[in-house]
Each structure stands twice: as C-alpha cells, then as structure tokens.
Structure 1
C-alpha cells in the first residue's frame, strides 16, 4: 500500500514538473491569408524603369532638342540668325568651300585609322558598314525632304535649300558613329570626331552658306540618323567579329596570269 502511494506521488510530481516547460512554448501567430492570391508564383514583379532612363529616350532627347531649337529660330535674316551672321562676318573671313566638302567625311577617316591601328570597335566591320549605310540613307532622306518642305533661303541667296544644313548633318552622323563604336575604349575618339563636326558647322556659317538655325538642326538630324540606325540594327550578320585578320599574298592563276590572293580569317 505504501509503495503504491509513493508511486502515485512520484507520477504527480513528474507531471507537475513538466508543466512549466509546456507553458514556456510561444504561441504561434495565425498565418495571414488575406494576400495569398496577389503573387501566387512567389516571384517579385520587375520594377519598370522610368521613361527618361529608357534607351529610346536617351537616343532621341538630344537630337530632338537640337532640331526643335533650329525649327523655332529658323526665321531667315531675323532674330538670333541675323545676330549670329553679323558676329561671324566680323570675326572671321570666308575660307575655301572645298575644305567644307572634304571635312564632312573626316570622322570616317578617323574610324578607319583607329580600326587599322588595331583598336576593336563595338561592332565588327560588316555590321559597322551596314550601320553606316543605314544611317546615311536615313540622314539623306530626312534632310532633303525637310529642305524642300522648309524652302528656306540661304544667307548668300544661292538657293532655297538652307534648312537644315546637310553638310553639318553628314559630319555629325559620322561623328556619332565614331563615338558609339569606340566609346568603350576611350571617350577621346568621340571628342575628336565631334570637334571635326562642329568645325564643319562653323565653316558653313563662316562661308555664309547657312544660318545658325540650319547648322543646329543639321547636327540634330545627323545624330538622330545615327541613333536610329543603331536602334533598328540587330546584328543580322551575327555577333562574332569577322575580318580582323586580313592577309595578301601574290598568286599565279596559270596561262601567265598573276594577281593577288586575299585571305580574310574570322577572329573574335
């Protein structure tokens, strides 16, 4: 009887001693199921970048501003155009117009020289040539269409194709391509090309061929043409570099015919 009471007492003591351990367990909060269907996949939604940070906006903002300024100030021999012409004629004398015609493609010579020197461009040679061809087509079509629509008389009265400046558009198109192709290597390539393009714009005013509004808008058309060429290009000829290694060796074709054999080995 005594052992039975002790056994019962021990069991009750063990039970009472274990109660604090259960009391110390934290209560589990009920789960919140009010938003369970808002994102069932569990993947956070992508944050949309602001419009002003988009590639299209960055490509169009500067040329659009230049073209808009040129269009607003295109008033012939009046306003800021007259002031700029008078200042230019007082400070500078006319130079050979042939120099203008040569300088407009000088950035392309820079592009070729840097490529021959071994500096790798952003695109391979085939795709760069395609971009140049596309940019030239866009620039020529847009500038000459606006020239005939605007019917603006040149400062020297030569004709009514003053607005915008085609020479300036050509120079800034080439400069923009040089800048885009080599900006990853050095910004100075673009600085040199844009300096040449700005010189062309200045010479067009010095030679009394264009108003200030013409050259500003021409710069916008040139930059815009280059940006549109890049935006619409998707490397249709592949992304691997081609034409990095070019070799030339004499060749004999039989029957006394000689010539030159050209090898063009792809290399990334």
Structure 2
C-alpha cells in the first residue's frame, strides 16, 4: 500500500514536470528561432536520477533490498566509534560553492541573479518532492527516532547543489563537477554512517536532487519572466507548485 502511494505521487510529479517542460520547450524554441539561438532539452539526462529514485521506491517493499539495507546498517554499526555530524553542513557546500567560486573571480555560466532564480526553483521542486514523499511513505529511520526516513533530504540538497555546480562550471573544468558530486556522495554516506538513513533513502534523495536541478534549468525561461520585465510583450507567466494533502504538482498560469 505504501509503495503504491509513493509510486503514484512520484508518477504524478514527474508527469507534471515533464509535461510542463515540454510546453516550455515549445515556447522557448519559438523565442530562440527569433534570436537565432538553438535550444535543446536532452531527456536522456533523466535516466540516472530516475534510476536512483526507482531503486529507492522499489526498496520500500523489496525483501531483498530491505534485507540488504539491514545488513549494511549492521556492518556500519560494527565500525562506528562515534557519530560525525559533518553531513549537517556538507549538504550545503555544493550550493554555496556556486557563489563562492564566482567570488574568487571564476565566472559561472549564468549571472548571480540567474543562479539565484535557478537555485530557488531547484530548492522549491526538491523540497516539495522530498516532503511529500516523507509524508506518504512513513518509513522508520534506522535509529528508530522517527518515521520520515524516505527519502533523505540532506542527500537531496547535496546532490541538487552538485548538479547546479556541474551545470555552471563543467565547461570551465570537469574538476568542479567531480568535487561537487564527491561532496554530495560523502553527505549521503555520512547519513548512513550516522544511522539516520537507509541506502534506499540516500539513493532516492540523490535522484530527486539531481532531477530538481535539471528541471530548474528547463523551467528557467518561464520562471525568469517573473523577475525580468519584458516591455515588448504583455504576456506574463507564473509557475506555481501545489499540494492539497493528497496530490502534488505544478501549475502554469499565463495572462495575455
């Protein structure tokens, strides 16, 4: 029953996002033709985050994956001397880095304002997905302290920042991308080390974080219209998430 609820919520969120992205792509493509700029959304980028999320969802009821979760937990407990709360801080390092690197004189792909809009959109998508899934899945944490284990919010935040860092600096050096993802991976590992999350929680969180960042870049042409005045057009578009306690999704409101 839990698995079905989570699958339905995930399916609803993904379909809402992808449908919205397709509409935005059409509008943005028309605009790009006017300015002779080529725009392309690569849906192959969804494969890895979708695989991670799927692994996490299947792990909610798969006896084999649940057993592996337990075995891994016991293995970690045998080698833990004391907890290290570095993950409470490392989750934000990739996100902060996309601004800190700029301060060092290394310019990113987008301006400060554009990055702020994209980051806020990413965080909104990620937060909605994570909190919705935590509410409907009701998975107990490995340490038994609460029932909001799935998915890992710390990991989602870290991987969201890592993907933002990748998008902004990958053309300058691959090391920026690798370092961002290394920190994000370390955050996920520490969540398990500190007995706060199962492997399936971490995998799903990573997928949600990556997908949230990618979606933010896809949605940017529409979201940015809320912050930039377009004097040549009276067309206004608003991107609005919604959650009524049972369903979650995104709405697109346009006025002409």
Quickly name the TM-score band, shorter chain normalised. 0.5 to 0.7
Q: 141, 144, 147: which is aligned to 1:154?
A: 141
What TM-score, normalized to structure 1? Answer: 0.65
What TM-score, normalized to structure 2? Answer: 0.68
Once superposed, what is the RMSD of the aligned Cα atoms? 1.8
Asked if 1:88 is matched to 2:76, the reply is: yes
Query: Matched residue of 1:185: which SS?
Result: coil
Asked if 1:202 is matched to 2:189, the reply is: yes
Deviation at 1:108, TM superposition (A): 2.4
> Structure 1 pair 69/151, CA: closer, same or farther in 2 (3 Å)?
same
Alpha-carbon distance in structure 2 between the residues aligned to 1:94 and 1:74:
28
**Do 1:73 and 1:80's aligned partners in 2 also have CA atoms closer than 8 Å?**
no
**1:229-262 deviation line (CA, Å, top 9, x unaligned):** 0111115467xxxxxxxxxxxxxxxxxxxxxxxx
> Structure 1 pair 70/101, CA: closer, same or farther in 2 (3 Å)?
same
Q: 216, 220, 228: which is aligned to 1:229?
A: 216
Point out where structure 1 has 5 or more consecutive residues left out of the alignment: 1-53, 239-268
Counterpart for residue 245 of structure 2: none
Deviation at 1:82, TM superposition (A): 1.0
Query: Matched residue of 1:55: which SS?
Result: coil
Q: Number of matched residues?
A: 184
Alpha-carbon distance in structure 2 between the residues aligned to 1:109 and 1:227:
18
Point out where structure 2 has 5 or more consecutive residues left out of the alignment: 1-39, 229-256
Greater CA drift, 196-205 or 66-75: 66-75
Asked if 1:65 is matched to 2:51, the reply is: yes
Counterpart for residue 212 of structure 1: 199
**1:23-54 deviation line (CA, Å, top 9, x unaligned):** xxxxxxxxxxxxxxxxxxxxxxxxxxxxxxx7
Alpha-carbon distance in structure 1 between the residues aligned to 2:217 and 2:105:
23
Alpha-carbon distance in structure 2 between the residues aligned to 1:91 and 1:110:
32
**Do 1:94 and 1:206's aligned partners in 2 also have CA atoms closer than 8 Å?**
no
Deviation at 1:119, TM superposition (A): 1.3
Deviation at 1:56, TM superposition (A): 4.0
Alpha-carbon distance in structure 2 between the residues aligned to 1:164 and 1:216:
8
Alpha-carbon distance in structure 2 between the residues aligned to 1:123 and 1:58:
23
* Bigger-Rg structure (1/2): 1
